[in-house]
Structure 1
Amino acid sequence: MSIVSLNATQLNITVDNINVKKAGNIAVYIFGVKGYPKVHKEALFHQIIKVREYKENFTFEIEDNIKDLSIKVHHDENSDGKVSKNWTGIYPKEGLGFSKKQEVSMFGPPNYKNSKLTLEEFQEKINISLIYP
């Protein structure tokens, strides 16, 4: 039996398109504006699991005083806690996914404004598909 705070909203995230042929971890980071999306230690919440299935579900208890947030999902293939880059130093070598279907572009990672979810939006189930290079 789990206890749910009366002052919390349950955030349910389904991550799919996980490449199970690649080892490592799936990390889900929940950010406020601070640190998004690069500074993992600034995440408000995070969960990390070993790669097992094509699709995984994650649940977070989000305090009701948090009115918006952004989500980053990282397939950390070498389990080093960092997004490995290709030869350009810009594009990732590992799978990534972001809230609001944002993607890494030639200008860098998505910004908070374009990927943030409001309280009403994160009360619904969120689906994030990993994108691999």
Structure 2
Amino acid sequence: MNQEEKAKRLKQLDDLQYQVTQEKGTERPFDNEFWDNNQPGIYVDIVSGKPLFSSLDQYDAGCGWPSFTKPIDPLEVLEKRDLSHGMIRTEVRSVDADSHLGHIFPDGPRASGGMRYCINSAALRFIPKDALEKEGYGEYLPFFV
């Protein structure tokens, strides 16, 4: 994604989406769009549109944010050490748009590798399974057969 395209897409974000993705903000737990979403589909970066997470890897971690055991493609997310707020955490960013997505913690389900990708809804756009083809993400339909 080039800088001109990114600038155009950033102008389309609402205040919360901009604060989360560009200023490392965090939305309120249990008061965000996808924390309890149960529909099949994929989540894409709100800025670049790159596929990041699948509902097949989503689970209720009880934290109030969408939680996933893994990204669709590990090469599309970047992990960075985050020492803010007096804590040692690992920040998760999208590679293409460099959007702040959330954080990763080692307290996820053991059967799925033990990781919890705790992601802000405001950093994501959800594409329901039934809209994947129409939205240009048809290659992900076989995941949901």
Name the TM-score class by shorter chain: under 0.3
User: TM-score, normalising length from structure 2?
Assistant: 0.24
More helix by share: 2
